[in-house]
Amino acid sequence: MADRYKAVSIDELPSHLILEILTSGTLSGVDLVCLELTSRTFGGSHGFYPLRLRSLVDLAAFQLCGSHPIYAPMNSDARKQLFDRCGGNWKRLLRFLQSVEQASDIVKTSAGNMQIKTGRYHNLLINNSSVYSCGSSLCGVLGQGPEVTQCVAFSRITFPSSAPVVQVSASHNHAAFVTQFGEVFTCGDNASFCCGHKDTSHLIFRPRFVEALKGIPCKQVAAGLSFTVFLTQDGYVYTCGANTHGQLGHGDTLDRPTPKIMELLGGVGSVIQISAGPSYALAVTCDGTLYSFGSGTNFCLGHGEQHDELQPRAIQSFRRTGIHVVRVSAGDEHVVALDSCGYVYTWGKGYCGALGHGDEIDKTTPALLSNLKSHIAVQVCANKRKTFVLLDTGRVYGFGWMAFGSLGFPDRGASDKVIQPRVLDSLRTHHISQVSTGLYHTIVITNRGRIFGFGDNERAQLGNDMLRCCLKPAEILLDDLTDRSQS
């Protein structure tokens, strides 16, 4: 009977079974590289796949790329260009796809699943199944209750739901959270209806379930200034809040007290990502089209003019050139976008070099960031007059206004300008997996789950009350996470 359950080594398993394990979806591109280097079983040729694939691991990476939600909708020309950009290496291509997906979502680190979002003077952090906040609790944005005005260290937020939170968004006056089951919770100042609740008479100090979205599971939220954009798991977009500039995308300027579906986006294809600026918003569809709507100030809508758009309008410069956009980040006065080949584009107000083109000239439509053409980017992040670009190698480039040190260059003054992309040498020894920047501070997460912050810390937004203006990245120790808050 014992022989029936005799243990076998991995080398004795049939190749098709090993392939099933490799393509299960639980392994990353880095994991596949490690396996290929570890055993001839993974790195050798087994004679049942095309010669252009060097190993069983290569075949697994090829199949995983083919079914990836970013790669699958790409046309053949875009696929070939990306493959060439990755040096003809399917494992690197897979790493690119997975890094793009994680950098704007949950990052898988060796210390667990994490996500960081910076607000104006605060942060929201997902650490495995819990959510934490630190900094200033203006309008209740920390979700810690009415008695808390400031948290000097990351403190746990209590939710009425036991489901893990998988995505967060932080704005000047409110916050939004999405759980594993697609439920949405919000807190903050609901005077403009941005929290999606009918009650506007009181601040909402703790996360409250958005009843209007009951039975409509969401996967992402984007909090703008006094309005919110919700992306459902089916690829539809809902909005609520202030609508002075048409930022709700319904073709009018009427405020919406509760989330309403954007019917004008319903027929253009499934939306895969959203981003909200102060009074405008952006939506990326699965076919790589980027739509913008709301305030046209500073040319942030990317149409070459400053007119408000009351309904979603595709950015034609991307369409005409066949550029497939996969991610976008809306800043206060400018925008940065990432395409399917890892190229970066910026447009809007060029003040302080925030667009990275070596000058301070405004760009009325998207312009390729030529200084980074030789690199493959996986995340873009914009905020107040500054921009960050994360590469597939884990390096981070920053440019724009130093803003109290929030660009992370210790050799530059707290008010200097960096007008073209420059690598953050102070983080060179770490592999960065995610970056988020607020008004005057920035936080990054490494692939080992370490957190570093730099910039202004006057309101403890760096999670350390011993610092003030921090020009050099300082580590925020997760061991300090607590259930207690300090007011």
pLDDT per position as a tens digit, 357-367: 999 999 999 99
Are residues 202 and 281 both part of a single domain?
A: yes
Provide mean pLDDT across the span 239-262: 97
- Whether residues 65 and 190 share a domain: the answer is no
- Number of domains, the chain: 2
N-terminal to C-terminal alpha carbon distance within the chain? 66
275 with 176, same domain: the answer is yes
Please answer whether residues 209 and 176 qualify as being in contact, where contact means their C-beta atoms are separated by less than 8 angstroms: no
Q: Which residue has the tokens 């569809």?
A: 285
Q: Which domain holds residue 39?
A: 2-103
Greater pLDDT, 200 or 5: 200
Query: What is d(CA 10, CA 18) in angstroms, rounded to the nearest whole number?
Result: 8
Q: Please say if the pLDDT value at position 217 is more than 70.
A: yes
Same domain, 402 and 306: yes
CATH of the domain at 148: 2.130.10.30
Is residue 257 domain-resident? yes
Helix (H, G, I), strand (E, B) or coil at 167: strand
Q: What is the pLDDT of residue 484?
A: 42
- Beta partners for 390? 379, 396
247/364 same-domain check: yes
Q: DSSP assignment of 395-436, as one string?
A: -EEEEEE-TTTTT--TTS-TT-EEEEEEE-GGGTTS-EEEEE
Residues 171 and 85 in one domain: no
Residues 293 and 318 in one domain: yes
Confidence of residue 202 (pLDDT cuts 50, 70, 90): confident
Query: Is 485 a domain residue?
Result: no
41 and 179 co-located in one domain = no
State the pLDDT confidence band at 477, using cuts at 50, 70 and 90. Answer: confident
Do 133 and 227 share a structural domain?
A: yes
Instruction: Tell me what pLDDT residue 1 has.
Output: 46
Q: Are residues 171 and 63 in the same domain?
A: no
Q: What pLDDT score does 485 carry?
A: 41
Q: Is residue 487 part of a domain?
A: no
Phi, psi of 426 (to 5 degrees): -65, -15
Q: Is the sign of the CA dihedral 32, 35, 36, 42 positive or negative?
A: negative
**pLDDT-wise least confident of 4-18, 106-120, 244-258:** 4-18
Q: Band of the pLDDT at 263, cuts 50, 70, 90?
A: very high
pLDDT in tens, 409-439: 999 988 899 999 999 999 999 999 999 999 9
Q: Distance between alpha carbon 8 and the CA centroid of its chain, in Å?
A: 43
Q: Does 401 map to a domain?
A: yes
pTM of the shown model: 0.92
Does one domain contain both 380 and 268? yes
Q: How far apart are CA 68 and CA 70, in angstroms?
A: 6
Angle at 115 between CA 373 and CA 417, to 5 degrees: 45
Say if 78 falls within a structural domain: yes
Mean pLDDT rounded to a whole number for the chain: 90
Residue 486 lies in a domain: no
* Distance of alpha carbon 281 from alpha carbon 294, whole angstroms: 6
Residue 486: is its pLDDT beyond 70? no
**Cβ–Cβ under 8 Å, residues 377 and 395:** no
| pLDDT at residue number 256 | 97
Contact 452, 427 (CB under 8 A): yes
- Taking residue 361's Cβ as centre, other Cβ atoms within 10 Å add up to 12
Contact 200, 188 (CB under 8 A): no
